[in-house]
Chains A and B, each alone.
Chain A
Amino acid sequence: MSALIEIDRLSKRFGAFTAVDDVSFAVARGEVLGFLGPNGAGKSTTMKMLAGFVTPSAGTARICGEDVVERPVAAKKHLGYLPEGAPTYPEMTVAGFLGFAARVRGYRGSEAADRVAHAMRLTTLEGVRLQPIETLSKGFKRRVGLAQSLLHDPPVLVLDEPTDGLDPNQKHEVRRLIGQMAPTKAIIISTHILEEVSAICTRAIIIARGRVLADSTPAELSRRGPSLDAVFRELTMAPRPAPEAA
């Protein structure tokens, strides 16, 4: 099956600093890719380029075959994206905000209402639907962002730290939701939490200093050392990319 997400020699330079350096990989339907790396490794920048927010210095990415640089609007139609920190308009109500996202995506009338209701059901937001987003707790805000990214049932989901700031129960809920959707979608999630990768990802990529250092299944990665933690530290702390340990 052809990949829904193709990242093709993507690079991003900010002045003399190279944030993302010649990164290539592909994600097929049914895969949940965990994107791991220390802070500043280039995870978010790669995701922002994939979402069409940051313009790549070189290379490109394709979502469902649509080039994000050349046909950005077409590519974004297939994409559900949760930006880092899940930004939302604070003065809007949950229903108002999701309704806006639905209308921008071209849904009207009862179809828009159905989409919003469905997204709220998936993320259990019905109880707060008429509350302004600024009055909600961090966990709810995160779920509003998540609901926005799921609204149009996209084949490709890119979630930048979807469980950051959630309590253990909420983390569990989000992971369960991702697991549920996994068979029909190609999903990339970035995270700092290594246990999360073992729990929900079918594949893990470790990135540091803008380069891909490892691309494997979580199980295989943890077999390289005493634990996934140790493997992660060894790979990302090394001044040069560590030689691939068997």
Chain B
Amino acid sequence: MRTALTIARRELAGYFATPVAYVFIVIFLVMTGALTFTLGNFFNRGTADLQPFFGFVPWLFLFLVPALTMRLWAEERRLGTIELLLTLPVTQGQAVLGKFLAAWAFCGIALALTFPLVITVNYLGNPDNGVIATGYIGCLLVAGAYLAVGAAISALTKNQVVAFVLAVAVCFVFAAAGSPVVTEFLSVRLPVLAEIARGVSVTDRLSGFSRGVVALRDIVFFASFIGFWLFANAVAVDHRKAD
């Protein structure tokens, strides 16, 4: 674990040494703010909560997180540093976990920087801050799920564009699986699949969090989802490290 944290620390410092971090954070903050106040109808809803914000975050992450993960392994390949990293006394698992934790912490920082929204609703009314807290936890878990998917895909291909497009596509499947369009279509044609689709849907799981409900089954879902993709990532790295 200590080795994974050492790797994570280096990675996280790496984000802030390049424009990646600043571009990501600025775009994320502008988009969340703009969407919440315009499309989200923040002022006219007449309730002091962050529901519209939590509704937009997973869709923003759908594009921004793959942009973050596409370079995760591809960059190490391009620079040749993957050979350096994997010939240090670390396991594949530690390297994968370290990179994931750094990216996750980075998403956490981006989310934390949306704090003016929390201050705004508290200034305007009396929101349930517990619900806001669980909403943030949910968003962080969604970011983790997308990161795990994106990182695994980035380990599979050398090409960053391919990694980005594939990661968006796969994340979209898990994001859209619970949407009414998909579940209604499936429940008419294939009722069995409709249940499965809802079960693996990331956004469906998030709705509980944004209502203030932290269910154990949702936590277990995210933990096993992330765990599965990290495992796939370690296998992919082991298989393709020298290609």
Interface residues of A (CB under 8 A from B): 48, 51-55, 72-74, 76-77, 79, 81, 83-85, 87-92, 96, 100-101, 103-106, 132, 145, 148
Contacts and interface: CB of A to CB of B under 8 A. Distances in A.
B83 A53 contact: yes
Given A76-B87, A76-B88, A105-B88, A53 B6 contact: no
B14 A81 contact: no
A110 to B, nearest CB: 17
A85 B78 CA distance: 12
User: What 3 pairs across the A-B complex have the smallest Cβ distances?
Assistant: A87-B80, A91-B17, A76-B89
Contact of B79 (A52, A74, A90, A103): A90
B87 A89 contact: no
Given A53-B86, A81-B87, A91-B14, A104 B80 contact: no
Most buried by B among A79, A87, A90, A106: A87
Interface in B87-124: 87-91
Interface in B1-51: 2-3, 6-7, 10, 13-14, 17-18
B187 interface: no
Interface in B184-243: 238, 241-242
A100 B81 contact: no
Given A91-B17, A92-B14, A77 B83 contact: no
Contacts of B80: 83-85, 87
A106 B3 CA distance: 8
Most buried by A among B6, B14, B79, B84: B84
Given A51-B83, A83-B80, A83-B84, 8 more contacts: A53-B83, A53-B87, A77-B89, A87-B81, A89-B79, A104-B3, A104-B88, A104-B90
Contacts, number: 69
B7 A88 contact: no
6 contacts: A76-B89, A83-B83, A83-B84, A92-B10, A104-B89, A106-B89
Question: DSSP majority for the B interface?
Answer: helix
Contact of B88 (A92, A96, A101): A101
A100 B6 contact: yes
B86 A52 contact: yes
Contacts of B17: 91-92, 132
Contacts of B91: 72-73
B113 to A, nearest CB: 22
Interface residues of B, number: 23
B72 to A, nearest CB: 14
A87 B13 CA distance: 18
Nearest to A48: B242
Given A90-B79, A103-B6, A52 B87 contact: yes
Contact of A53 (B2, B3, B241): B241
Contacts of A85: 80
Contacts of A48: 83, 242
A87 B87 contact: no
Contacts of A132: 17
A144 to B, nearest CB: 11
B90 A73 contact: yes
Given A48-B242, A103-B6, A89 B81 contact: yes
Nearest to A89: B81
Most buried by A among B7, B81, B88: B88
B18 A73 contact: no
Given A104-B6, A104-B7, A73 B14 contact: no
A103 to B, nearest CB: 4
Contacts of A148: 84
A205 to B, nearest CB: 21
A148 B84 CA distance: 10
Contacts of B2: 106
